[in-house]
Amino acid sequence: MVDDILRTPGAVRDAERWTAHNYHPLPVVISSAEGAWLTDVDGRRYLDCLAGYSALNFGHRHPQLIAAAHAQLDRLTLTSRAFIHDQFADFCRELAELCGKDLVLPMNTGAEAVETGIKVARKWGYQVKGVSPGQANIVVAEGNFHGRTTTIVSFSTDEDARADFGPYTPGFTVVPYGDLAALTAAIDENTVAVLLEPIQGEQGVVVPPEGYLPGVRQVCTERDVLFIADEIQSGLGRTGATFACDHEGVVPDMYLLGKALGGGIVPVSAVAANTDVLGVLKPGQHGSTFGGNPLACAVAIEVVRLLATGEFQRRSAELGERLRAGLEGLVGKGLVGVRVRGLWAGLDIDPALMSGREACERLMERGVLAKDTHGSTIRLAPPLVITEEEIDQAVTALAEVLTA
Ligand SMILES: Cc1ncc(COP(=O)(O)O)c(C=O)c1O
């Protein structure tokens, strides 16, 4: 096909013309998808190795999730939290049970779950811990990514995410990720929480040293500080366990969840914690018009049920080993580093060869879609329904890109 009868170039131009340029997407225009595969407006197929930043852990249009969405669309879509609807309690109960917590507070986007966690931790600090008014402090990590609100970017260490969005929200102390001594030293009588990603996704799938998360758990318990785990990207099967914290037997005081919770259909996020923590919120103190709506709950109930089978965590763990073996074989052949947890990988490309962006463009030409992050790093996060053969296909495409 020649360019003037392809639909892609015009569609890319139109998208650029009519939107703010806060993203730099690959020049591909998707029109349909199923499982691990995407099809563009010109009928070309691509293996999805990003899965909507892990929002599509169960693949595109998983039949059980689509059926739940259709059924709910035909009955009831929105009530607001002014009334209770018939999907609400089941969602909250089943998610609370999956998390091993007493209560769930549903929101929509990941950033809202993080904001909720921050508000709850501060209120807990004042009302339960006895921190002096206005003094609450939260310890966070360098290289964090927790979302895009003005408060959240206030404690980002990524200049692109933060610069020129001040004045910044006070009340956060940044320490190096993975350094338990630095984190411990940063805690004082005003510290209400430690907020961490158990694996830093956006930073390039950075796994902290073994023993770090259990150490954080212990120091938080000893110093009467809440441990808030942002599992928005790492949770819900991505790493070969329900939560990334599970790999080290760590149970945080608060889970922040999002992305895959909505099954790739609707935005659903949530905070899960025990009554002594979430119970500090009273009517009128927090909320969201769309949080916990019937459509979201109907889909998310099925997400929780899929996870309760353990099948997706198992697939992620087993297939992740195949992905690891394939990628480790490329170290020294274009890759200078690889980090893998389940079906989640951060690959450092030799910067002398090409940028991460260039590698993703070349992967796209070979029918594989992935996303670069921070210069020469690529993140792979395929849907957990991907097969062994498809993993091999992605690794082969990468090997070709690195040696071409
Ligand atoms: C760990 C983590 N927390 C929070 C967020 C923000 O989620 P959302 O984009 O849904 O606001 C993200 C998004 O990438 C994330 O990776």
> pLDDT, tens digit, for every residue of 47-63?
999 999 999 999 999 99
The tally of CA atoms less than 13 A away on the side-chain side of residue 342 is 32
Quote the pLDDT of residue 404.
83
Let me know: does 69 contact 267? Beta carbons within 8 Å. Answer: no
CB 53 within 8 A of CB 38: no
Residue nearest to atom 8 of ligand 1 (CA): 110
pLDDT higher than threshold 90 for residue 1: no
88, 259, 348, 372: the active-site residue = 259
Whether 145 is a known active-site residue: answer: yes
Report angle CA 111, 342, 221 to the nearest 5 degrees.
55
Query: What's phi and psi for 93, nearest 5 deg?
Result: -65, -50
What's the pLDDT at 2?
Answer: 56
Is residue 3's pLDDT more than 90? no
Mean pLDDT of 115-144: 98
Cβ(315)–Cβ(211) below 8 Å: no
- At 368-399, the pLDDT tens digits run 999 999 889 999 999 999 999 999 999 999 99
Q: Which among 76, 81, 126, 113 is positioned nearest to 231, based on CA atoms?
A: 113
> pTM, whole model, 2 decimals?
0.98
Three-state SS at 138: strand
Structure tokens at 158: 């990524």
Output the CA 341–ligand 1 centroid distance in Å: 18
In the reported structure, the alpha carbon of residue 215 is separated from the centroid of ligand 1 by a whole-number distance in angstroms of 25
Q: Mean of the pLDDT values across residues 232-261?
A: 98
Place of tokens 């990334």: 244
Q: What is the DSSP letter of 4?
A: G
**Average pLDDT, integer, range 9-37:** 97
Is 101 an active-site residue? no
How many angstroms separate the CA atoms of 72 and 68, rounded? Answer: 6
Mean pLDDT of 8-18: 97
4 has pLDDT over 90 = no
Output the CA 75–ligand 1 centroid distance in Å. 30
Answer yes or no: 259 catalytic. yes
What local confidence, expressed as pLDDT, does residue 370 receive?
Answer: 98
Per the CB < 8 A criterion, the answer to whether 111 and 75 are in contact is no
